[in-house]
Structure 1
């Protein structure tokens, strides 16, 4: 593979796909230099929104009012605006590696709540710690108001322990389902986390009055453990490093994990004291990352698909909700994972309905077609709410493509630019279909293939 194909693969995994302004750079840089550039462009900056926020004190006053409408309206509008700001950051920011990693953590430590300030806090935790210490990340997430709220640790008290958080901490966040721990360990760790809560302003508190100070037995260890002790004991287990490494490998490399490679990576991750960037270096600087079996092996999630289209095809949106409707009907909205296990992966994104919608979206964006569809009913996703019909681009002018900005792309080999892999038969079929049409139509046709759904 030449540098361009390798770099295209790298930016599709370590970021959200190639940007229309960077085509020549991808041709000329070596993959190692491009990865170094991605690492260098990984500064953390708090997301800014167009919608004015409120202080925790102001939010508290709204929550105490008899009329809940202002509070509900603020939550809805701020969550929507914050989602758009993060979406824009994924599209336009050079900090691709940080945002892609934060996106991964958002699905790993999944929370689903309406409290806008709590949502903002936990997303910033993901973004800030995205490439830092997994140890720090686990502690920050475990003490966040969003997680404590979502998994009911606010109700975890010594008189009546609540096991929700302690169970998911081990099952989904650190060790993996049924790996190493027992039901007894869950009960004992729940006792250790009693008293971990937050105050009226959403600040973490360790309420000693509600903490069970008795001796506990956890993973074979005895002691008067608290939440900090439990997390530290979990992180002492090599199985934790292996579970996290495998999940990262499946997200960034291949859904089918190479157990030998995962084992080697996890040992280095463990020895680094859970340094996330060290693990990502091992992955993205390896030769096997660019092996043929890893190219085009993953199905883009809806967010990856839509953000990737917007990076390669610049556009203006008259109605900014339009773009998020695409993700909604495909089953993925930022801040709205379906449950504590996060979003599905791989083939779970594709069925006969969603594939047809995915293939139609580029034409809708270009104004060639309209999309009139209802989101698929799914209680896990929609939480029992009634969904209104989503009509996208009905007037044919809600999205404007800046074709002039990508003339340099239109005149190049669009197949190698847009598809992870291509074959002569596919190229001939698409070229024949577009023989009497413009290069714009050719680009949209390529982006409307099943192959474009892969990265």
Structure 2
């Protein structure tokens, strides 16, 4: 594997794919140096570029505004947060932190309408993305978004609510059915009684609603509170194993190499859950670049669309067109389908979504039109019918800057665009485009099933 292909693999996993301005750099820099560059850039924590509104201002507006107007504001603000994050994924050199934040967004999935709560939890993911998993768990557990989504503000000593306690172990730390029992869930719920938030979205620990009785949890006994429960969970090596496995599947391969995962998990645990240490072990290893890991993952809708926009610069007169593509493919930021987050791997692909994925580049280039029903998702839509999405040539507000990528068009487009180019697909596409332009060749390559892989 040449240097460029190694770097392309690295930036597609530790980021959102190669940027059109960086082709020559990827050819000349070593993969280890590129990773160090990604690490250095990741130390900057970006903030969403959205309208500044304080919790106090939002609270006053909520009191003075009718429900319909408030809902409209919430919708517009959430859209602004999504668009801001999408733009940062495309343009920032801070690729590793943004990619890791996307991972945590699906791992600690919340779906609520309060825009400031949404903005806050995305900032928590950004800030702690590459820091310490312990800190991340505590901040997420005390966030208004999570407490709201999993109903812990209703968790009171007279009537415990088990939602958060269950998902904390099942989805966030240990894995479904691993180590804990139903009794552990009930005892954990008692420990989290009183954890809530005030009208400004600030964490509160209501001692009057806390169950002060003794609890038995994962083999220990005591007058535990939520802090104790989280610390007891993190003492278990099984927690490090669960998180390591999910990170490996997201960044390396859907099919874990058990020996490697075990080694990574042990180092992660010994580091006291230092996330950057784990990422170093992955991205600085030789096995990360092995043939079985190249082109082994299916791009999520966000990875696909952001990746297209990084390699093919464009202006959007109506940004809704781009976000409709992601929604149609089943991934809308701030709107995971349920508490388990988005699916992965082959779950992204079915007969309709694959055809749509292959059509999107041509729609962007104004070669084809789009007329399609959104992908069904009853968890999100609550049974409501979605409007059909139509993009015809008159409605297409996407302008591709072909002049900005003339240097790319004159190079080996197969090597630049495909994770693992092979002679058969190159020959077939080259023959098909024999009398067509380099622009058309680029769009054709991006419209293949092979382009869906990274």
Query: Where on the TM-score scale, by shorter chain, does this alignment land: which range?
Result: over 0.9
Matched with 2:301 is 302
How many residues are matched?
Answer: 454
Q: Is the 8 A contact 2:337 2:377 kept in 1?
A: no
1:408 aligns with 2:421: no
Tell me the CA shift for residue 183 of structure 1.
0.2
TM-score w.r.t. length of structure 2: 0.99
Tell me the CA shift for residue 295 of structure 1.
0.2
Matched with 1:31 is 31
TM-score w.r.t. length of structure 1: 0.98
Cα–Cα, structure 1 residues 292 and 164, in superposed 2: closer, same or farther, change >3 Å?
Answer: same
For residues 23 and 402 of structure 2, the distance between their equivalents in structure 1, rounded to whole angstroms, comes to 16
Matched with 1:7 is 7
1:210 aligns with 2:188: no
Q: Is the 8 A contact 1:393 1:399 kept in 2?
A: no
Tell me the CA shift for residue 439 of structure 1.
0.2
For residues 65 and 182 of structure 2, the distance between their equivalents in structure 1, rounded to whole angstroms, comes to 42
For residues 48 and 80 of structure 1, the distance between their equivalents in structure 2, rounded to whole angstroms, comes to 12
Map 1:59-138; keep pairs closer than 5 Å: 59-65=58-64, 67-138=66-137
Matched with 1:231 is 230
* SS across alignment from 1:217: strand
Q: Which runs of 4+ in 1 moved over 6 A?
A: none
For residues 132 and 383 of structure 2, the distance between their equivalents in structure 1, rounded to whole angstroms, comes to 37
RMSD of equivalent CA atoms = 1.0
* SS across alignment from 2:21: coil
1:285 aligns with 2:277: no
Map 1:19-418; keep pairs closer than 5 Å: 19-50=19-50, 52-65=51-64, 67-395=66-394, 397-418=396-417
Tell me the CA shift for residue 245 of structure 1.
0.1
For residues 359 and 278 of structure 1, the distance between their equivalents in structure 2, rounded to whole angstroms, comes to 37
For residues 376 and 133 of structure 2, the distance between their equivalents in structure 1, rounded to whole angstroms, comes to 36
* SS across alignment from 1:21: helix
Tell me the CA shift for residue 71 of structure 1.
1.4
Q: Is the 8 A contact 2:17 2:310 kept in 1?
A: yes
Decide which moves more: 384-393 or 218-227: 384-393
For residues 154 and 356 of structure 1, the distance between their equivalents in structure 2, rounded to whole angstroms, comes to 44
* SS across alignment from 2:249: helix
Tell me the CA shift for residue 157 of structure 1.
0.2
Cα–Cα, structure 1 residues 161 and 25, in superposed 2: closer, same or farther, change >3 Å?
Answer: same
Tell me the CA shift for residue 393 of structure 1.
4.6
Q: Unmatched 5+ residue regions in structure 1?
A: none
The C-alpha deviation readout for 1:375-424, integer Å capped at 9, x for no partner, is: 02220242323211111254164100000000000000000000011111
For residues 138 and 150 of structure 1, the distance between their equivalents in structure 2, rounded to whole angstroms, comes to 15
Tell me the CA shift for residue 374 of structure 1.
1.2
Q: Unmatched 5+ residue regions in structure 2?
A: none
Q: Is the 8 A contact 1:44 1:127 kept in 2?
A: no
For residues 310 and 104 of structure 1, the distance between their equivalents in structure 2, rounded to whole angstroms, comes to 20
For residues 359 and 30 of structure 1, the distance between their equivalents in structure 2, rounded to whole angstroms, comes to 32
The C-alpha deviation readout for 1:204-260, integer Å capped at 9, x for no partner, is: 000000000000000000000000000000000000000000000000000000111
Tell me the CA shift for residue 48 of structure 1.
3.6
For residues 400 and 234 of structure 2, the distance between their equivalents in structure 1, rounded to whole angstroms, comes to 48
